[in-house]
Amino acid sequence: MQFLAAAVQMLATSDKEANLREAEDWVRRAHAEGAQLVVLPEVFNWRGRGRDTAANAEPVPGPSTDRMSALAAELGLYLLPGSILESSGSDGRAYNTSVLISPDTGIIAKYRKIHLFDVDIEGEDPIRESEYRRPGEAVVVADTPLCPMGLSVCYDLRFPELYRRLTAAGAQVIFVPSVFTVPTGRAHWETLVRARAIENQVYIVAPDQTGRHPASMDAYGHSMIVDPWGKVIAQAGTEPGLLLANIDLGYLEDVRRRLPALEHRKTFLSGSC
């Protein structure tokens, strides 16, 4: 089984309608290239100041996901529209929510980002996602005719136990839509994406936002698609754009057969000390 996957790198702004139109354009371009799966970056439909989060959050399903579902149905492809800010109905904070959309049935999986980015990076203003966002709790894998797909978002990338859970649940492709900061991106982005692919012997599709943003942190770009051996098979620079790569599940099975690290796991080590 093989299929073509696309990752979209973009610079979203606080203009939701403009972001949605741009995303639709990139998805159509990917479809024209033959992509059966398209993945957008984190908070693709709105990026702005944290204090404006609640005013720009939406229900899921809601206006943005309905629009993306209609596009997926029209083009006949699977679509992961990065993530959007989902209204939580309490305390003004929103979930950072990623959905996977089927061309036939609409939303088939919904994941709320578990790990929130509360950090102090040298040379940068402190970032406190937890002030405006609520964490999710569930690990999510969606079974599709293409393959089982695991959902994660950005900062989750630093927590390998999540990706092990996704792989144990059957994921063969895992998504990491992101807005990685420039300092952390330079230092860690490629290393972390490749590590999650290598240790779990999965494909990682990791579209990042890119560029300078007047009302949010600057994003690193360098979106990537990485194969189960850890090879970078598609990578962007710092400009918005489209990545395409072949997902070869026969190759994935061959990697796992030749180097059966997943079979060699000692599950007794996964408990707490």
The catalytic residue positions are 42, 113, 154
Count the residues in the chain.
273
Phi, psi of 48 (to 5 degrees): -160, -160
- CA dist., res. 193 & res. 47, Å (int): 23
Collapsing DSSP to helix, strand or coil, 163 comes out as helix
Helix and strand element counts for the chain (H, E) = 7, 18
Q: What is the DSSP letter of 89?
A: S
Q: Is the dihedral of CA 60, 61, 62, 64 positive or negative?
A: positive
Q: Which of 100, 14, 82 is nearest to 50 (CA)?
A: 14
Cβ contacts of residue 95 below 8 Å, gap of 6+? 85, 86, 88, 112, 113, 133, 134, 136
- 149 backbone dihedrals φ, ψ, rounded to 5°: -125, 135
Give 19's contacts (C-beta < 8 A, 6+ positions apart).
10, 12, 13, 44, 45, 46, 47
- 79, β-bridge pairs: 38, 101
User: In sequence order, what are the residues at sequence separation of 6 or more whose Cβ sits closer than 8 angstroms to the Cβ of residue 145?
Assistant: none
Among residues 180, 70, 44, which one has the least CA distance to residue 124? 180
